[in-house]
Amino acid sequence: MKDIFLVSNVVFKESIRHKIILSLIILSFLIILSSLILDPIALGERERLVKDAGLSTISLFSLLIIILSGTRLIYQEIEKKTIFIIITKPISRERLLLGKFMGLLLIIYSYSLVSSLFLAVVLFFAKIPFSHSLFYSLLLITMQSTLLSAIAIFFASFASPVLSGIFTLMAYISGQFINDIAFFIEKSSSIIVKIFIKFLMLIIPNFYYLDIKINAVNNLPVSANYMVFAISYTLIYVTLLLFASTLIFGKKEFY
């Protein structure tokens, strides 16, 4: 485990010293804060507006950090040839990749924690209660980020940063709308289309399961069973993606 921790620590240090990542974090804080000054146009929906802006900002900026950081993690090693230094040391390629993933999670979890605390402070000063469903929603945003990180690492294990960035974004967008698309296509009479959609639903991660912002914003309860299902879904998906990524990365040659 020590070698995985060492690699993740380096990924974390490298990222937090990167100006773009720091700028993104500061920008997201400013957006959360700015939701307070939108009070006049909130039309009495101030609580909903602040919560929605906070959750959406954390979710969006997590996605941006993952795309900017995660998709470059592997390629940068190959492009800048730091990989020759690392893989000739007593660490397996699988553990190196897991270290990269853990490092990315460390960045994202730190961001999620700090931004959630910041949102809590903003809510406190705005005299808006921090509900259970808001906490669950933040927890599932973190799960969503975990899944996205695994997707980014998977694509980064074989594609360039630009391509893996595009693939990760596409996986996120299609994962957000897969249920809606499925709903309409279920009405199709073609069996082939139905089978194709079922197949897509199986391989495309369903981010719909991890989005309970509506519950948080409207103070609707979230059951414990649902949380267990959503977290389990994420963990199974992440395990499968990491398994596939290590298989690809293990066979990769570096010239």
Partner 1 sequence: MNNIININNVKKTYKMQFPFKRIDAVNGISFNVDENEVFGLLGPNGAGKSTTLKMLMGVIKPNSGNIEILSGSIIDRNIRKKIGFLPENPSFYQFLTAYETLDFIAGLFNVPKELKQDRIKTLIGLVGLSEAMHNPVGSFSKGMVQRLGMAQALINDPEILVLDEPMSGLDPIGRKEMKDIILMMKRRGKTLVFSSHILPDIEMLADKVCVINKGTVVGIGYIHDIIKSELKEFDIEILTNDTINKMLEKYKDECKYFSIHENKIFITITDHIKAEEIVNLVRDNDGKVLSFIPRENKLEDYFMNLMKD
Site of interaction with partner 1 (CB under 8 A): 2-3, 6, 9-10, 13-14, 17-18, 80-92, 253-255
Residue 32, token pair as written in the block: 């959360």
Closer CB to partner 1, residue 86 or residue 248?
86
Contact between 103 and 8 under an 8 Å Cβ cutoff? The reply is yes
C-alpha count within 13 angstroms, C-beta hemisphere, residue 166: 4
Residues 198, 84: Cα–Cα separation, whole Å: 42
Closer CB to partner 1, residue 194 or residue 252?
252
At closest approach, how far in Å is the CB of 81 from partner 1? 5
Closer CB to partner 1, residue 47 or residue 77?
77
Closer CB to partner 1, residue 36 or residue 91?
91
At closest approach, how far in Å is the CB of 88 from partner 1? 4
At closest approach, how far in Å is the CB of 17 from partner 1? 4
Residues 242, 153: Cα–Cα separation, whole Å: 8
At closest approach, how far in Å is the CB of 14 from partner 1? 5
Closer CB to partner 1, residue 21 or residue 33?
21
At closest approach, how far in Å is the CB of 62 from partner 1? 21
Q: What is the DSSP string of 112-151?
A: HHHHHHHHHHHHHHTT----HHHHHHHHHHHHHHHHHHHH
CB neighbours of residue 182 within 10 Å: 16
C-alpha count within 13 angstroms, C-beta hemisphere, residue 250: 10
* CA-based nearest residue to 74, from 147, 137, 11: 11
At closest approach, how far in Å is the CB of 110 from partner 1? 16
Closer CB to partner 1, residue 84 or residue 199?
84
At closest approach, how far in Å is the CB of 188 from partner 1? 39
State CA 5 to chain mean position distance: 20
Residue 252, token pair as written in the block: 């990769």
Closer CB to partner 1, residue 68 or residue 91?
91
Residues 34-58 as b or e (16 or more Cβ within 10 Å = b): ebbeeeeeeeeebbebbbbbbbbbb
